[in-house]
């Protein structure tokens, strides 16, 4: 399967994850984001443990520690960004949070391009981008970044409304959550592309990365659970019926994560912006299932990104022919 289909499956998985993250977020629960982290850590941890026999490096205790250190820049940035993103869902609609967060796809592509050029992995960007790839990637990047700016303008415009009429509980200040997510996710995605690259990477295989990330998030989930126990004076039960949406979101997250790793291992410069466009799926699902209304500017951005994805698909199909 090509990088394009891996990336396409990933963006669908993560788009549905966003939908269920929002459904599982309780705006009145100050620890809602940590409860989501517990669920994600649980799912990723179980998956990682199940995959241990398939680890390419064998994963002896010494190798596990060594590889965990190698992958820590990416895994820690991802975990921090995701928990920040979960917190932001308490104050913003999913159709606002996701586009602003995923401007990271454009930034991480730029970071990786500079790194690969310096390291001699590519002599010029023409080696990675043919005409269709270039046009498609540019459309996706412009669409995602433009969508983020559209959402910022909407947040600023709502300052004139009465508090009860606002979708943004803290106005434009709430955008700090997705903006911080964007910063940490940019670092994590760029690190992933570099770590997984076959020529200049650190020699970690796709299965190894999935295991390392899963085990790291499992540890983060355990820490979150202990924190909740201390703060709420009772153990958090992730299997309660009311927590079902969090569990579904975590499953969708891990589903997307598996395909993300394989997409990034094959074509990081093309996969990063395309995967980041999962925010378009989030916007559409938010409109369909959560009744979030789309403005004309949002619609234009969605159409631009979809056209970009189609062009990448055509280019990939021609390359495979």
List the pLDDT tens digit at each of the 321 positions of the chain: 688 899 999 999 999 998 898 888 887 888 999 999 999 999 999 999 999 888 876 667 777 778 888 888 889 998 999 888 888 777 766 666 666 676 677 778 878 888 888 877 777 666 667 777 788 888 887 877 787 677 667 666 655 555 555 554 444 555 677 778 888 988 888 888 888 876 767 777 888 889 999 999 999 999 999 999 999 999 999 999 999 999 999 999 999 999 999 998 888 888 888 887 887 787 788 777 767 677 788 788 878 888 888 787 777 665 654
> Do 285 and 218 contact (CB within 8 A), yes or no?
no
pTM for the model stands at: 0.81
Rounded to whole angstroms, the Cα distance separating 217 from 191 reads 17
Question: In this structure, what token pair is assigned to residue 20?
Answer: 């269920």
What pLDDT is stored for residue 227 in this prediction? 96
What pLDDT is stored for residue 170 in this prediction? 47
| Cα distances (Å, whole numbers) of residue 270 to 98, 206, 318 | 20, 17, 15
Give just the sign of the alpha carbon dihedral 41, 78, 200, 130. positive
Q: Please give the backbone phi and psi of residue 149, each rounded to the nearest 5 degrees, phi first.
A: -70, -35
Q: Which long-range contacts (CB under 8 A, 24 or more apart) does 72-75 make?
A: 72/216, 73/187, 73/188, 73/191, 74/187, 74/188, 74/191, 74/192, 74/195, 74/213, 75/188, 75/212, 75/213, 75/216, 75/217
The whole-angstrom distance between residue 242's C-alpha and the CA centroid of its chain comes to: 25
Query: Which letter does DSSP use for residue 290 in this model?
Result: S
What pLDDT is stored for residue 168 in this prediction? 47
């Amino acid at each position: 399967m090509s990088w394009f289909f891996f990336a396409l499956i990933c963006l669908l998985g993560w788009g549905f994850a966003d939908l269920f993250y929002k459904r599982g977020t309780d705006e009145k629960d100050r620890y809602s984001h940590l409860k989501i982290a517990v669920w994600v850590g649980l799912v990723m941890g179980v998956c990682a443990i199940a995959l241990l026999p398939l680890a390419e490096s064998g994963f002896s205790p010494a190798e596990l520690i060594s590889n965990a250190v190698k992958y820590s820049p990416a895994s820690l940035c991802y975990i921090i960004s995701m928990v920040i993103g979960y917190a932001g869902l308490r104050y913003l609609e999913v159709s606002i949070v996701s586009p602003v967060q995923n401007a990271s796809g454009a930034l991480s592509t730029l970071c990786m391009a500079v790194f690969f050029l310096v390291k001699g992995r590519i002599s010029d960007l023409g080696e990675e981008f043919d005409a269709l790839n270039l046009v498609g990637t540019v459309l996706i990047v412009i669409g995602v970044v433009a969508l983020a700016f559209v959402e910022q303008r909407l947040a600023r415009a709502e300052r004139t409304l009465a508090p009860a009429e606002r979708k943004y509980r803290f106005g434009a200040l709430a955008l700090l959550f997705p903006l911080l997510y964007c910063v940490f996710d940019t670092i994590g995605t760029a690190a992933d592309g570099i770590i997984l690259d076959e020529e200049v990477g650190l020699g970690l295989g796709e299965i190894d990365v999935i295991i390392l990330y899963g085990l790291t998030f499992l540890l983060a989930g355990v820490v979150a659970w202990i924190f909740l126990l201390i703060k709420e004076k009772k153990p958090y039960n992730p299997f309660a019926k009311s927590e079902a949406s969090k569990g579904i979101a975590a499953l969708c997250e891990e589903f997307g994560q598996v395909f993300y790793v394989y997409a990034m291992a094959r074509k990081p410069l093309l996969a990063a912006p395309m995967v980041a466009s999962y925010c378009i799926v989030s916007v559409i699902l938010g409109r369909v299932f959560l009744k979030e209304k789309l403005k004309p500017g949002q619609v234009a951005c969605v159409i631009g990104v979809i056209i970009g994805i189609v062009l990448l698909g055509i280019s990939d199909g021609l390359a495979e022919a």
